[in-house]
């Protein structure tokens, strides 16, 4: 259900917001044991918020934008008084003492918190399989992964357990799961949205963004969570445009660049390729001008990202030492053993692997060869994009090389798993905004995602093009028929 249909329900007066929210909570309670999208259900908070909105309705008060809309939050955003676990044993019992700026803004605008959603541990992964709380199932096929790391968020929206979710995207973690689950995922420009209260993974890449049923819902959430925040020195101090009013602008003459390196990549699944080609034709028939573009360094993104992200992660995760933060192992008799035992027991394999890679890449003697070199390649990737945007308005690519894979397919092969981020990581390295929208299905009935990439702070353009495409393709009405 999109925001519009839900608002019609509220406006019909047949049920109170509280009753509608109770229906959602019942649905979560029934379906979550199968899907494992939620790690915490915040029934009490949801009902309190719903009662408040109902009172505002009775009082005829002016309602804020997201009034009464039930949403979920990835469990790496701090929510005051509620467990914020990062799906890690390290933070299994961590109750956040403060509220992230993004969630604070959402509650201020009337959104309702249904709960926290599952993720790959500390947002490291592409399948939600590295979560300490078990894998999430893809609502389109419960034997498949929902993608990651915001897999719980994407699955919660696709399964109809909430109207929208908030995820984080360091190398694709909003877009890849949204694509696997057939929903809309937006990663804003680096700095567009405050990260105060987001548990850091790789600070030069992390961004928070919405996962929704429609592009218009995405624009609404973006308008609430964007903007400068004195608590986050990396947040940009530029006015927030009206993302909603520009959605229906005509895209006649819009120049869309097709990144050659993406469509010609040997790892790209044939059915994904065909669906993207059809989508390019659709854009053309909607009046857009299609231009072939080359970003020669695009495919170096993975190697670059998997040096930079683990390096930053190794520094960010140093704070979990059993003293300042996190799980403490008992039974050791000196500080050094206690720290190392706590980290060995608290972190899972993938997180430990990243810390080791990152520590190695940053160590004296190797940092020039790995970390600094990766930073240089990062600049080259950004230069390719800058050049492309001299000739086009937005860029188009598939979001992922394949559709959702089976659980366990890559659990013992981390390098192959890393390749599923092929088409998303260059965008983070360059700090650009990008959106994924459903554009078709493969023969197994699994959704395929299309990625639109904008220049810095050009969210309006990608939202506009995505919205016009979505209206024309009329794909959003398809939802998984969950069999239980």
Closest-CA residue to 326 (of 315, 314, 335, 339): 339
- Minimum distance between the CB of residue 106 and ligand GLN, rounded to whole angstroms? 20
Pick from 451, 482, 425, 435: nearest CA to 219: 435
Is 149 a residue of the active site?
yes
| Cβ nearer to ligand GLN, comparing 50 with 155 | 155
Q: Is the peptide bond before 149 cis (omega within 30 degrees of 0)?
A: yes
Please measure the distance between the N-terminal and C-terminal CA atoms of the chain and give it in whole angstroms: 20
Subset of 327-386 contacting ligand GLN (CB under 6 A): none
Among residues 42, 118, 128, 173, which is the contact residue for ligand GLN, using CB under 6 A? 173
Residue 483 has a CB neighbour count (10 Å cut-off) of 7
Shortest distance in whole angstroms from residue 56 CB to ligand GLN: 36
According to the binding rule CB under 6 A, does residue 304 interact with ligand GLN? no
Decide whether 6 or 122 has the Cβ nearer to ligand GLN.
122
Q: Does 169 bind ligand GLN (CB under 6 A)?
A: yes
**Candidate list 87, 131, 173, 218, residue with the active-site label:** 173
Give the chain's radius of gyration (CA, Å): 21
Long-range contacts (CB closer than 8 Å, 24 or more residues apart) made by 335-344:
343/90
DSSP string for 366-403: TTIIIIIHHHHHHHHHHHHHHHHHHH-SEEEEESSSSS
Per annotation, catalytic residue among 74, 104, 116, 187: 74
Identify the active-site residue in 72, 85, 149, 179.
Answer: 149
Q: Answer yes or no whether residue 75 interacts with ligand GLN by CB under 6 A.
A: no
Q: Which residue is nearest to ligand GLN (CB)?
A: 173
Please report how close the Cβ of residue 470 comes to ligand GLN at its closest, in angstroms. Answer: 24
- Reading the block at residue 77, the tokens are 């955003």
Nearer to ligand GLN (CB atom), residue 54 or residue 129: 129
Q: Cβ(282)–Cβ(472) under 8 Å?
A: yes
Residue in 110, 115, 151, 171 binding ligand GLN, rule: CB under 6 A? 171
Work out the burial of residue 412: count CB atoms within 10 Å of its CB; fewer than 13 is exposed, 13-18 middle, 19 or more buried.
exposed
401 binds ligand GLN (CB under 6 A): no
Stretch that binds ligand GLN, among 22-30, 33-41, 169-177, 279-287 (CB under 6 A): 169-177
For ligand GLN, which residue of 113, 254, 309, 434 counts as binding (CB under 6 A)?
309
CB of 149 to ligand GLN, least distance (A): 4
Report DSSP letters for 32-94, one per residue: HHHH--EEEE-HHHHHHHHHHHHHHHHTTPPPPTTTT-EEEEETTB--TTSB--TTSGGGTTP
How many other CB atoms sit within 10 Å of the CB of residue 336? 8
459 lies in the site for ligand GLN, by CB under 6 A: no
From CA 124, how far away is CA 23, in angstroms rounded?
33
For ligand GLN, give the closer residue by CB, 153 or 173. Answer: 173
Note if 324 is an active site residue: no
74 catalytic residue (yes or no): yes
Judged by CB under 6 A, does residue 421 bind ligand GLN? Answer: yes
Stretch binding ligand GLN (CB under 6 A), from 60-68, 99-107, 118-126, 278-286: 118-126
* Nearest distance in Å: CB 148, ligand GLN: 6
Instruction: Examine residue 88 and tell whether it contacts ligand GLN (CB under 6 A).
Output: no
Under 8 Å between Cβ of 193 and 218: no
Q: Minimum CB separation from ligand GLN for residue 123, in Å? A: 4
Distances (CA, A) of 276 to 187, 247, 425: 20, 22, 19
Give me the least distance between CB of 57 and ligand GLN, in Å please: 38
Give the residue numbers marked as catalytic.
74, 149, 173
Binding site for ligand GLN (CB under 6 A): 123-126, 149, 169-173, 201, 309, 421
């Amino acid at each position: 259900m999109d925001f519009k249909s839900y608002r019609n329900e509220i406006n019909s007066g047949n049920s109170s917001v509280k009753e509608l929210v109770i229906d959602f909570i019942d649905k979560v309670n029934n379906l979550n044991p199968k899907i494992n999208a939620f790690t915490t259900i915040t029934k009490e908070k949801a009902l309190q918020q719903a009662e408040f909105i109902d009172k505002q309705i009775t009082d005829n008060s002016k309602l804020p934008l997201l009034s009464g809309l039930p949403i979920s939050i990835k469990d790496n955003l701090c929510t005051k008084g509620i467990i914020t676990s990062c799906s890690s044993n390290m933070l299994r019992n961590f109750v956040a003492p403060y509220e992230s700026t993004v969630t604070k803004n959402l509650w201020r605008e009337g959104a309702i918190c249904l709960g926290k959603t599952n993720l790959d541990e500390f947002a490291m992964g592409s399948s939600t399989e590295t979560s300490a709380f078990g894998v999430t199932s893809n609502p389109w096929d419960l034997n498949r992964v929902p993608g990651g790391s915001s897999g719980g968020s994407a699955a919660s929206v696709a399964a109809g357990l909430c109207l929208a979710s908030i995820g984080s995207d360091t190398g694709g973690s909003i877009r890849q799961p949204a694509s696997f689950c057939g929903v809309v995922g937006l990663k804003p420009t680096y700095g567009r949205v405050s990260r105060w209260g987001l548990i850091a993974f790789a600070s030069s890449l992390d961004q928070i963004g919405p996962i929704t049923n429609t592009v218009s819902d995405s624009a609404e959430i973006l308008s609430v969570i964007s903007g400068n925040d004195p608590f986050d020195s990396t947040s940009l101090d530029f006015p927030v445009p009206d993302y909603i009013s520009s959605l229906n602008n005509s895209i006649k003459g819009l120049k869309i660049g097709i990144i050659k390196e993406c469509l010609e990549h040997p790892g790209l699944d044939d059915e994904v390729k065909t669906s993207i080609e059809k989508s390019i034709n659709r854009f053309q028939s909607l009046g857009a001008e299609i231009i072939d573009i080359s970003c020669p360094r695009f495919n170096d993104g993975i190697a670059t990202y998997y040096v930079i992200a683990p390096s930053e992660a190794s520094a960010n995760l140093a704070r979990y030492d059993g003293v300042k933060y996190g799980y403490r192992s008992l039974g050791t008799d000196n500080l050094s053993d206690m720290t190392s035992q706590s980290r060995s027991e608290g972190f899972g394999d993938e997180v430990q692997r990243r810390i080791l890679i990152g520590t190695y890449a940053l160590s004296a003697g190797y940092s020039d060869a790995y970390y600094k070199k990766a930073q240089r390649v990062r600049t080259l990737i950004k230069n390719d994009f800058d050049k492309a945007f001299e000739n086009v308005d937005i860029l188009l690519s598939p979001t992922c090389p394949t559709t959702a894979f089976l659980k366990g397919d890559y659990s013992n092969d981390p390098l192959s798993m890393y390749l599923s981020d092929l088409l998303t990581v260059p965008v983070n390295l360059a700090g650009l905004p990008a959106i994924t929208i459903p554009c078709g299905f493969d023969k197994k009935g699994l959704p395929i995602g299309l990625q639109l990439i904008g220049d810095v702070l050009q969210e309006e353009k990608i939202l506009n093009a995505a919205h016009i495409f979505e209206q024309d393709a009329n794909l959003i009405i398809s939802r998984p028929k969950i069999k239980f």
